[in-house]
Amino acid sequence: MTQIFGHRGAAGTHPENTMISFKEAARVGADGIELDIQMTKDGEIVVIHDETVKRTTNGKEKGWVKDYTLKQIKNMDASYKFKDQYGFCEIPTLEEVFEWAKSNQLLINVEFKTGLVSYKGIEEKTLQMINDYGLEDRIVISSFNHYSLVKCRQLSSTVDLAILYMEGLYEPWEYAKRLNTNGIHPYHQTINKEIVEESKRNHIAVRPFTINDEKKMKQFIDFGCSAIITDYPKKALALIK
């Protein structure tokens, strides 16, 4: 059965990477959520997609996440384009998400946003937090920065890792195995049924992103993908049912 991961929660209908979005994904019955992490000036891990704060917050601030303290970040409104519907939404810390996760059984795909900013110690801190909360069996770590994934594997022999990529990759299952990772999270237009099947034959999970079109959802479910990552988990779950 193909699992459904809510992209940044339920980003099609709720402010992305906020608790209200994650709770909506849980409410509609998603198998998991996907979220993105950055690190503040004072070393706190926060859940926000962009390296800068402008796009997804109230727009009053324009700088880099790394240049703000957690207290400053917490004063920003992450309601984004849904402000009129949901009011003020905080940027959550990863720890807040993990604390909430104790109340459910959701899988959590944590994406390291380390492509532009090299956050010192983010891999170690995240893995320690996963361990502290006893969540290792429910976590998939992914990143476009494959150096981060290699570092995570050096730190943990058991954590589930998946490579993110946007362009076509030759025999991605072989590359995933070479990095000692467990899965691939490809941009959906870069894969076909053969890649899905060959990857799964090689025990590499396939979770394409971000699939919002119902016809595409059905196609990738029919391909037998391990999961699909979508902004509309409710819509995807209705197709599976």
Please identify which of the residues 14, 49, 185, 188 carries the catalytic annotation. 49
Are the CB atoms for 37 and 111 separated by under 8 Å?
Answer: yes
Q: Which has the closest alpha carbon to 223: 201, 192, 188?
A: 192
Q: Hey, what's the torsion of the CAs at 233, 236, 240, 241, to 10 degrees? A: 70
Q: Hey, what's the torsion of the CAs at 198, 223, 225, 211, to 10 degrees? A: 130
Q: Which has the closest alpha carbon to 149: 189, 116, 102, 184?
A: 184
Based on the residue annotation, tell me whether 7 is a catalytic residue of this protein: yes
CA atoms within 13 A on the CB side of 216: 16
Please identify which of the residues 7, 14, 185, 188 carries the catalytic annotation. 7
- Which residues belong to the active site? 7, 49
